[in-house]
Amino acid sequence: MNDTHHRMKLAAHALLSMQRHSWEHGTAMQAFLELGDTPTVIAMAHEAVYRQRPDGRAAVMGNDEAVTDPCSVGEGLLYACSQTDDVFLKQGKEKLLNWALRQAPRSENGIVYHLISKKQFWVDSVYMLPPFLAAAGYPEEAMKQFWGYTTCLYDPDAHLMSHMWDDESHSFIRKDHWGTGNGWTLAAIARLIPMMKEAGRDEDAQKLQDLANDLLEHLLVFMRTDGLFHDVTDNPSTFVETNLSQMAAYTIYRGLHDGWLCPDSVSGRKYREAADRMRAAANQKMNAYGFISGVCGAPEFDKPGFSPEGQAFYLLMEQAASKII
């Protein structure tokens, strides 16, 4: 067993040991899906449907206000349905899709809110909802949601994504350029571009590619010499954080593999070098039990620690890197 495989196995075991809310369960499912671990994806899909609310939200624990987070399990659930004849899974998929398309609370323009009781858009939703809609065969709706979020949350002065927008006051709740939030956006783009191309939506694919390049160009300005970023990317008084490096490296490796980043261009070579530095930094943060330390930490995400999404993006990054190394 080579060192990379051993480290990925450790990271996967650590991930499966962790308690997971809906978005954490979905991000973990996506990691195992991209690793090609079909039995684990199917098992996690069963758990997601078992913890499904009557309204269709999947993988819910406790009194959860989340609207889009439960949709993060969607692509893995679709795949599990394609691999089995399990009626339980298929019914769960239809309920989740009905929630996403028809029942979820949304703005007058039809953009789905992040919470049940508040009219807010969070950058997290960019990752949680549009890729599921695209994978389910609704690329137009996926792009409607994606561009609806970015219209509110993209900061044209900084060329970065802000965190939270209030749709009633039409003002930011948190304008900070949260590193993980920019990572959610990049990772969503990496998943959406090939789906848009497959759907024949080349204009959307190009716009997504342009946004990815824009975000990467302006994020990398703030990468530290150790290959990591601050939690708020342009605020060095915030703590040093690991997961944005994993998320950005994942996006770059997928872009190089999928062809929307050219490996022989000046920008492609620059991004590849940055991705390799970020990947090396993340690998330095793994402890003896396979946990990636220093990520924006669960459960409050206000300090460095550990999180299921940090584990998942380590696996996603390593798998994406393996395809071009």
Bridge partners of 241, per DSSP, are 229
Q: Give 190-246 pLDDT, tens digit per residue.
A: 999 999 999 999 999 999 999 999 999 999 999 999 999 999 999 999 999 999 999
Q: Specify the pLDDT at position 62.
A: 85
Cα 301 off chain centre by: 15
Q: Give 257-289 pLDDT, tens digit per residue.
A: 999 998 888 888 999 999 999 999 999 999 999
Main-chain phi, psi angles of 165, to 5 degrees: -125, 135
Is residue 155 packed enough to be buried (19+ CB in 10 Å), middle (13-18) or exposed (0-12)?
A: middle
Q: How many domains does the chain have?
A: 1
Q: Specify the pLDDT at position 1.
A: 58
Cβ(72)–Cβ(128) below 8 Å = yes
Q: Give 5-62 pLDDT, tens digit per residue.
A: 999 999 999 999 999 999 999 999 999 999 999 999 999 999 999 999 999 999 999 8
Structural domain of 265: 3-322
Q: Give 61-119 pLDDT, tens digit per residue.
A: 987 899 999 999 999 999 999 999 999 999 999 999 999 999 999 999 999 999 999 99
What is the pTM (predicted TM-score) of this model? 0.97
Q: What is the DSSP letter of 277?
A: H
Mean pLDDT of the chain: 97
The CATH number of residue 316's host domain is: 1.50.10.10
